Amino acid sequence: MTYSCFTSKEIEPCGWLRRQLEIQAASQAGNLDLFWPDVRDSRWIGGNREGWERVPYWLDGFIPLAYLLRNEPMINRAKRYVDAILAQQCDDGWICPCTQEERAKYDMWALLLLSKVLCLYADCSGDDARVDAALRRAFRQFSGHLDAYPLFGWGKFRWFEGLIAIDWLQRRKAEPWLAELAVKMRRQGFDYAAQGDNWPFKEKESRWTFEAHVVNQGMALKAGALANLFEKDERQAALPKRYLELLRKYHGMAHGHFTGDECLAGTSPIQGSELCSVAEAMYSEEILLALSGDPVWGDWLEQLAFNAFPATCSEDMWTHQYDQQTNQIGCISESKIIWTTNGNHANMFGLEPNYGCCTANMGQAWPKLALATFMKGDDGDSILSAVLAPATLNTTMNGVSVRVRLETEYPFRDTLVYIVESAAPVEFSLDIRIPGFADAASVDGAPVRTGAIHRIHRRWEGRTAIQVKLQFAPKLEKRPSGLMALHYGPLLFSLPIPSVKKVLEYEADGVLRKFPFCDYDIRPNAPWNYGFAGDGFRIVERPVSDTPFSESAPALVIEGEMAPVPWKIKDGFTFVCEERPEATVAEGPARTMTLIPYGCTTLRMTEMPLVTTP
């Protein structure tokens, strides 16, 4: 079974998920067009600032955010940008903001990105006909352009992103030349299947390359599946899982993502991973869940959404990091650089630390996750609860109006309640993804298989409530560095480190950093050198606050025995610890300490040893 997403008109985020979207709308991603020159004054809308990826990146999150929240002022702001982009399309179909003379050297990644953004806008707004016509003209011109100027640079390594829009067009009206363009793009683009067959990145990379770039890897997870839509190939079809297995084996992080700061960086907990790579991997996994119907992609998606992504943004979402570390004891501008190729301030929280791509791109993660809460089966007779977050679906099944509401505080709790209401008797299937990281699960008291999609096919009438109960237990997972990481269901837990934050306000390159979109110097204000002094843990539930991923008020904590160990600062650094401690014998007595969800932390220790006490 394969699936596709419903539109923002049919999906209504609820509970903590809606609150998370409201936080985003009130913060950086919801306001870039009002103060950030690269969006506010972009060449895409007739200005003189960046005219390549930043406006499309921003719109990729801002558009669904505006429509999911039914926020008319935001919708009008999004429409202003789309209207300006479509109005400046040239007679020959060229749509990107550059002169005729600049076309040969213009990296066509911008078109590939814009094309999927326009499809998203059409699905949200209903402005299908105008977008359809503009994209067909743009792709016609693009096909001829590729004959003279084959893909290069970012476009060569992200060719498959354009297949999202081509598939959207083909579903509306199939034309042979579009399928031919898709094949042409694959043949001109980088061959990720070949790279997977002969994997070259088994260690931390020391030089910058497109091939090892972490965001390219996050996007490329879906390359084979998208290519297979147009040219059936078992090698491409098998690529997604095999590719992710390689990334996780050689560069895996405790929360399921992979390092890359900015290129692939091994498995050490003091290496980082770029925010854009997390957001793009999430989107890839949403697409792969839909195209394959394999529930494991939902598990991997939720691990990123509930851990890696919220951790790399401040809880108010006004600032973010370029790179996050699993063991992160300080976020300052160090005198030395630990990253593969990034600058020394890459893990600082700020407006655009290291580079502004993440500033523009961070907004897509939460809205697209909300759009993936429910998916429709391509059999036309089923609804999948794909991402287990609170949301309501209002749609039509077999001609009857149907409402499906998921009431839950998962991942902070273990219970899901579905309320299904139909305007008249109607038969269809409700498919529920049962996470593979649950130890056991039941539906209305009856045991069901975990790591699977549980189907309820019946004739629905009136109002029906269905309860799903998940069972989790704390688990210590061995990590490659000889350390351990604590998991509970989809959540990774960390020992938070109290910190002192200093506001940094200044202007650089014509861009003002001023509170709340300033930068921060964040330093530890307490010891961080601890290990697990046993595997007995106590789960404590607390209320889910108005800030779902709050460091001061986390909704779920784990109490456990911890003890200090001899663990040094890495030579030449101020706040970067060594990969592992000198010894695992405790330096002092064990005591009960509180660990909180990784996604709630700023400074943290996540991978720690099991220690012996004297």
Quickly state the pLDDT bin for 468 (edges 50, 70, 90).
very high
Rounded-to-integer distance, Cα 475 and Cα 178, Å: 49
Alpha carbons 289 and 294: distance in angstroms, whole number: 6
- Stated length of the chain: 614
| pLDDT for position 333 | 97
Number of H helices and E strands in the chain, helices first, is 20, 23
Give the mean model confidence (pLDDT) for residues 582-605.
97
Rounded to the nearest 5°, which phi and psi values hold at 68? Answer: -65, -35
Contacts of 137 (CB under 8 A, 6+ apart): 89, 93, 95
Percent of the chain with pLDDT over 90: 98
449 pLDDT above the threshold of 80: yes
Q: Mean pLDDT, to the nearest integer, of 317-340?
A: 97
CA atoms within 13 A on the CB side of 178: 21
| Domain assignments of the chain as residue spans, ordered by start | 380-408+415-471
Q: pLDDT for 505-528, tens place per residue?
A: 999 988 999 999 999 999 999 999
CB-based contacts of 305, cutoff 8 Å, min separation 6: 282, 365, 369, 387
pLDDT of residue 556: 98
E strand or H helix at 77: helix 72-87
Tracing tokens 């100027």 back to the chain, one arrives at 149
614: pLDDT strictly greater than 80: no
Would the pLDDT of 364 be above 80?
Answer: yes
pLDDT band for position 218 (50/70/90)?
Answer: very high
pLDDT at 160: 98
Q: What is the mean pLDDT of residues 57-62?
A: 98
CA-CA distance, 488 to 494, in Å (whole number)? Answer: 11
Reported confidence tier of residue 529, pLDDT bands at 50, 70, 90: very high
What per-residue confidence (pLDDT) applies to 35? 95
pLDDT at 269 over 90: yes
Q: How far does CA 390 lie from the centroid of its chain?
A: 18
262: burial class by Cβ within 10 Å (0-12, 13-18, 19+)?
buried
Instruction: Note the pLDDT of residue 613.
Output: 83
CATH number, domain 380-408+415-471, options 2.60.420, 1.20.140, 3.40.1000, 3.40.50 = 2.60.420
**Mean pLDDT, residues 295-314:** 98
Read off the tokens for 347. Answer: 């893990």
Report residue 78 as tokens: 């999004």
Question: Dihedral of CA 173/179/180/186: which sign?
Answer: positive
**Angle 216-218-223 (CA atoms, 0-180°, nearest 5)?**
75
Nearest-angstrom CA–CA distance, 496 and 483 = 17
- State the pTM of this model: 0.98
* Amino acid occupying residue 207: R
Cβ(429)–Cβ(377) under 8 Å? Answer: yes
pLDDT at 509: 85
Between CA 366 and CA 537 the distance in angstroms is 31
Residues 329-363 have pLDDT tens digits of 999 999 999 999 999 999 999 999 999 999 999 99
Lowest mean pLDDT among 61-70, 233-242, 332-341, 462-471: 233-242
Residues 188, 159 contacting (CB under 8 angstroms): yes
The rounded distance, in Å, linking the Cα atoms of 266 and 186 is 29
- Say whether 480 sits in a helix, a strand or coil: coil
Question: What backbone torsions phi and psi does residue 65 show, to the nearest 5 degrees?
Answer: -60, -45
How high is the mean pLDDT of the chain? 97
Q: What is the pLDDT of residues 229-249, one digit of tens each?
A: 999 988 899 999 999 999 999
Distance (Å, rounded) from C-alpha 563 to C-alpha 584? Answer: 10
Longest dimension (CA), the chain: 79
pLDDT attached to residue 431: 98
Query: Is pLDDT above 90 for 93?
Result: yes
Taking CA atoms, 118 is separated from 99, 115, 134, 291, in Å, by: 22, 5, 9, 21
Report CA Rg, the chain: 24
DSSP notation for 399-425: TEEEEEEEEE-TTSSSEEEEEEEEEEE
CB 371 within 8 A of CB 393: no
What does the alpha-carbon distance between residue 185 and residue 331 come to, in Å, rounded to a whole number?
41
- Dump pLDDT digits (tens) for 121-141: 999 999 999 999 999 999 999
At residue 402 the predicted structure's pLDDT band, cuts being 50, 70 and 90, is: very high
Dihedral sign (CA 51, 52, 53, 56): positive
